[in-house]
Structure 1
């Protein structure tokens, strides 16, 4: 009996410890608690004065505000733009101390939950691009520091999506190289990071507008991250545009499967509420792979390597699967993720890791100059991972087959075999002639080892005979079929 009691006590305390740890773990990732917002009884005298003037001076701005929920809650210009005289960007305007920039710190006075979630997101870090290859391209390769010490290409290009560090000139004006700017990771004079207006455009701040894919498409499009185009090709995008009138975009809670069922948008998958999940402004909370770098890794890998505790990729994926489950069965979802994972692994192992190891060796052995993009192979490698490689991975993530194939892996393969390998050998041969015999031998050995792998057998001429024969038979049958159809 005593042993039974001890066993029972042991089980009880073990369970208690487990529950306590689980509770603490949950608290570590607990969402900030939102304030209960109530409208003001009336519009403030300050905002009445602002509105009276702006109605005449900026009628479109006034009308946008008039359609907003802010207007309905008696929140006017002054409530958002008021400033302390000691603020870095404070100015005197018609007798009031105001700031032109409304930062997340200002929005957070009411929308604290959203601002706290955003601050923990990858979006909040988007402005930290100084030192990146992208910024070097915009500053040096494409541009010159001719605009108040900055490159016009960076000011009107990269920074408009990533965000600029907004600077205040000695006379109190905002530096035109950094303002206007609604980049998602903007560094504001008040020390806050981000721009809510990147997604919630002034001055209507419409939920409908922010929930549509075009809101994300301002930045997530183009040759290096064409999520907008990929979405439009996917069945999700096709369904959205065909059934937009059924999307109930103005719903207050907008829960997929309850308030709408025609299609998901970017917001549905990455941010919006489900029957089990709350809305979040941490856009990475449901992403399991990072598809941005040359070699993809699970989204928590870098943090783990730095000894940080973050939401594990498995939990993020489980949350995304929860979104999917509103429309898809578990078998469908599991098989989709198996397809997606295999494409990422294929890209990583066949092209990205070999390509990076080749570039790393050339750099280590000083076969390349210290200057980026002054040699052809550096452009080739950049295109391979930064453009084509991303397109393939994002295409798989969002179910756009043409971006996986013709805009993606086809171009990755062409770039690797037809451009990168010959250029690599040219660099090695040049180094060899310059007297770097040992380094050149090491580089040749690496390439030989890479091309001897089974996945490159077709290129090296070492493909197994049975596989080669099957392919030739299939090609012959295909050719005969189409020849007979053309008669």
Structure 2
């Protein structure tokens, strides 16, 4: 424990300094007897946990196992742990509601953000892919006697979050726990998990500020923000000057406490000279580039029932421009946004809206099961993979991802996959004896002619 004690004063000194912790309540004057009993056992059986906690600011503030895991007898997931010594009700899961006992402001910001809603993926295309197309119902657990897809449990749910199921004996169903998905639906009714970013049991602010932390979920073909960041000048600078970033500093104001580079946390959450830090990652985003057609963020927030639906996109943009102003001039920032908006308009008008219209017109000619048609896959990858890459890369100034991984693939697959597949469906529909399919084929032909004769696509017909 000597090593743990050596960091205690360091942690305590900085506990209340960070603006993101402005609502932290007064720390206990001494370590509780319950926590001391917990430590005795866990130091023997799970020493890594104890060492991690010993390096935390919680340890320095006398906040330990019991303070975070204590539960009321009536809580859904409460059980008596160690009935010989501690004899107290605890819960395994520490939810945002628990963290709010001390970190009220941060917990509120997080639970009212899109991150906290990430667990609501039922009936989405991504969920259908993992549950049905990629997987099966072979993972049978007590809470899911009819089975679950292991592809969803080990993939989707680990980022989006699972709905944690508590069994009759108080244990947590293995299909839903362990899970640190950002939008986890907890037994106490709260949504989200702080440990998705602040890994237990050290809960390091330094770790949460590093881009790698976001890379657990934000990477790959459909959301490659980490790779995009690493290609950008911002990511290159971070890699070169990481030791100048003051990542372990309690006070962390861009342009004041560090100037070497911005990280994901800097732009989306970090404090500036005018703004406090925030745990609502949507407060500075002026386009939502997740759906097939990019929309303003308040539109999506309204669909999710978030209070931030009242925060309009132009105000969010001003918030982000304030971050940019720490290192860039007003002209530089304004010109960047002209470039970015132009790419979003290009994507929406040339690919997203025509693609969605063609796909919609083709549906009467398709088999009813989603992803049972070639066109389902083509359209999905156009917007979900290529389209997202192009849009997200432009938002973060990553030219290779914008072009070669983005707009190049959009064009390649629109003209060499989507258009030919639509033409094939038209041909088959016209040859069908089904009058409804003949009519649908005629309508699809009209829509294709409209698209290809437009200013954006007439080159394909060799028209000027």
| Cα distance between partner residues in 1 of 2:428 and 2:197 | 50
2:135 corresponds to 1:137: no
Pick from 83, 90, 104: which aligns with 2:96? 104
What's the counterpart of residue 367 of structure 2?
A: 369
Q: Secondary structure at the match of 1:448?
A: helix
Pick from 235, 255, 258: which aligns with 1:257? 255
| Cα distance between partner residues in 1 of 2:282 and 2:118 | 13
Q: Secondary structure at the match of 1:323?
A: helix
Deviation of 1:171 after TM superposition, in Å, equals 2.4
Q: 1:251 to 1:306 in 2, by over 3 A?
A: closer
| Cα distance between partner residues in 1 of 2:304 and 2:162 | 27
**Runs of at least 5 residues in structure 1 that lack an aligned partner in the other structure:** 1-30, 464-487
| Cα distance between partner residues in 1 of 2:372 and 2:303 | 32
What's the counterpart of residue 61 of structure 1?
A: 49
| Cα distance between partner residues in 1 of 2:393 and 2:244 | 26
What's the counterpart of residue 387 of structure 2?
A: 389
- 8 A contact 1:50–1:78 mirrored in 2: yes
Deviation of 1:368 after TM superposition, in Å, equals 1.4
Pick from 44, 56, 68: which aligns with 1:80? 68
- 8 A contact 1:38–1:73 mirrored in 2: no
2:352 corresponds to 1:352: yes
TM-score normalised to the size of structure 2? 0.91
What root-mean-square deviation, in Å, do the aligned CA atoms of Structure 1 and Structure 2 show?
A: 1.6
**Runs of at least 5 residues in structure 2 that lack an aligned partner in the other structure:** 1-18, 141-146
CA displacement, residues 385-444 of structure 1 (integer Å, 9 cap, x when unaligned): 000100000110001000000000000111100000000111122222223322211110
| Cα distance between partner residues in 2 of 1:195 and 1:117 | 12
- 8 A contact 1:161–1:182 mirrored in 2: yes
| Cα distance between partner residues in 2 of 1:191 and 1:303 | 20
Q: Secondary structure at the match of 1:175?
A: coil
Deviation of 1:37 after TM superposition, in Å, equals 2.8
Deviation of 1:370 after TM superposition, in Å, equals 1.9
Q: Spell out the pairing of 1:111-190 with structure 2 (5 A cutoff).
A: 111-148=103-140, 149-190=147-188
| Cα distance between partner residues in 2 of 1:161 and 1:45 | 36
What's the counterpart of residue 454 of structure 1?
A: 455
2:414 corresponds to 1:416: yes
| Cα distance between partner residues in 2 of 1:36 and 1:411 | 48
Deviation of 1:460 after TM superposition, in Å, equals 1.1
Q: Secondary structure at the match of 2:90?
A: strand
CA displacement, residues 204-228 of structure 1 (integer Å, 9 cap, x when unaligned): 0011000000110000000110000
What's the counterpart of residue 31 of structure 2?
A: 43
Tell me which stretches of 4 or more aligned residues in structure 1 moved more than 6 Å.
Answer: 304-308
Q: Spell out the pairing of 1:196-207 with structure 2 (5 A cutoff).
A: 196-207=194-205
What's the counterpart of residue 295 of structure 2?
A: 297
Deviation of 1:302 after TM superposition, in Å, equals 4.2
| Cα distance between partner residues in 1 of 2:92 and 2:412 | 50
Q: Secondary structure at the match of 1:291?
A: coil
- 8 A contact 1:270–1:284 mirrored in 2: yes
What's the counterpart of residue 244 of structure 2?
A: 246
Deviation of 1:300 after TM superposition, in Å, equals 1.4
| Cα distance between partner residues in 2 of 1:431 and 1:36 | 65
Higher relative contact order (CA 8 A, sep 6+): 2
CA displacement, residues 303-349 of structure 1 (integer Å, 9 cap, x when unaligned): 56899851000000000000000000000000000000000110110
| Cα distance between partner residues in 2 of 1:302 and 1:117 | 17
2:314 corresponds to 1:326: no
Which structure has the larger Rg over C-alpha atoms? 1
What's the counterpart of residue 272 of structure 2?
A: 274
- 8 A contact 2:234–2:262 mirrored in 1: yes
Q: Say which is worse superposed, 86-95 or 374-383, in terms of deviation.
A: 86-95
- 8 A contact 1:32–1:117 mirrored in 2: no
Q: Secondary structure at the match of 2:181?
A: coil
- 8 A contact 1:68–1:204 mirrored in 2: yes
Q: Secondary structure at the match of 1:60?
A: helix
CA displacement, residues 177-227 of structure 1 (integer Å, 9 cap, x when unaligned): 000000000000011101100000000001100000011000000011000
Deviation of 1:367 after TM superposition, in Å, equals 1.1
What's the counterpart of residue 16 of structure 2?
A: none
| Cα distance between partner residues in 2 of 1:228 and 1:300 | 24
Deviation of 1:240 after TM superposition, in Å, equals 0.3
| Cα distance between partner residues in 1 of 2:387 and 2:115 | 22
Deviation of 1:127 after TM superposition, in Å, equals 0.2
